[in-house]
Amino acid sequence: MAQLLDGKAVSAAVREEIALEVAECKRRGVTPGLAVILVGDDPASRVYVNNKRKACLALGMLSEEYALAADTTQEELMRLVASLNEREDIHGILCQLPLPRHLDEQAVIHAIRPDKDVDAFHPFNVGSLCIGDPGFLPCTPAGVMELLRRGGIDPAGKRAVVIGRSNIVGKPMALLLLAANATVTVCHSRTRELAAICREADILVAAVGRPKFVTADMVKPGAVVIDVGMDRDENGKLCGDVDFAAVEPVASAITPVPGGVGPMTITMLMKNTLTAAKATLKD
């Protein structure tokens, strides 16, 4: 039976550590503060924002939410970001994506100050990650690395394959694995011989957004399988990008969905917010 990489348990352990550091920050006069901007009424985005607020409050952080109407203009949104940039009590700013189609997401991401960009989407932070000098780590890939570390899995010298090349998960995931001394291949919709490449992986990360896309015949016996997907199967049941029932007997370690990578994402967001606050502490 494969080792289960339990995101709930690891997330709880990391949050205990974060809570201690938040308490120390507050003792020194700084309460880590996160501002979350939500434009429109997308139900999934609302759930994510609620979970972020709950996490902040549970850890003793300041949480501010700005729920804007779906018809908010670009100018109004940019003005809000500019005002939050200047707030000394706000250390992290997050604009929940996706935005309504009439708004320019890239312009908003670029407008958030890099030292408050706790999603690590700003080009400055992306560039820092590329050269191995990150201030903030992208939340989902950082959560994956934490799961590997606490699961006793060292990527060094291993062959890692990432399926998916998004700016949010696939690309930064590849960079973090590379920084951990893995040999990394990134696969995508144009990749030829995908199954054969996946079978070479000691660590296989699936981030494609297609339910049960990774099947047992795509997995090398004994591989570590990380499922970043959050999908619905043909019965409407929550599942991942990996066919868990079929792959689990083949893998040496695997993340479940739900309860694997998902809980880690918000926890790493909290860690980034703490990092931003600690940078403002006076010696």
Q: What is the DSSP pairing of strand 231-232 with strand 238-239?
A: antiparallel
263: which DSSP letter? Answer: H
Structural domains in the chain, CATH included, are: 19-114 (3.40.50.10860), 139-261 (3.40.50.720)
Q: Centre a 10 Å sphere on the Cβ of residue 131 and count the other Cβ atoms it contains.
A: 8
Q: Tell me if 205 sits within 8 A of 213, measured CB to CB.
A: no
Between CA 134 and CA 125 the distance in angstroms is 6
Catalytic-residue membership of 154: no
Q: For residue 32, which of 266, 281, 263 has the smallest C-alpha distance? A: 281
Q: Which phi and psi angles does 257 have, rounded to 5°?
A: -135, 120
First vs last C-alpha separation in the chain: 50
52, 116, 158, 220: the catalytic one is 52
Between CA 233 and CA 272 the distance in angstroms is 33
Per residue of the chain (283 residues), give pLDDT as tens: 899 999 999 999 999 999 999 999 999 999 999 999 999 988 889 999 999 999 999 999 999 999 999 999 999 999 999 999 999 999 999 999 999 999 999 999 999 999 999 999 999 999 999 998 878 999 999 999 999 999 999 999 999 999 999 999 999 999 999 999 999 999 999 999 999 999 999 999 999 999 999 999 999 999 999 999 999 988 889 999 999 999 999 999 999 999 999 999 999 999 999 999 999 998 7
3-state secondary structure 45-86: HHHHHHHHHHHHHHHCCEEEEEEECCCCCHHHHHHHHHHHHC
Q: For residue 260, which of 7, 3, 1, 4 has the smallest C-alpha distance? A: 7
Between CA 72 and CA 59 the distance in angstroms is 31
Q: Centre a 10 Å sphere on the Cβ of residue 231 and count the other Cβ atoms it contains.
A: 17
Catalytic-residue membership of 171: no
119, 202, 227, 241: the catalytic one is 119
Catalytic-residue membership of 96: yes
Q: How many CA atoms lie within 13 A of 37 on its CB side?
A: 31
pTM of the model: 0.95
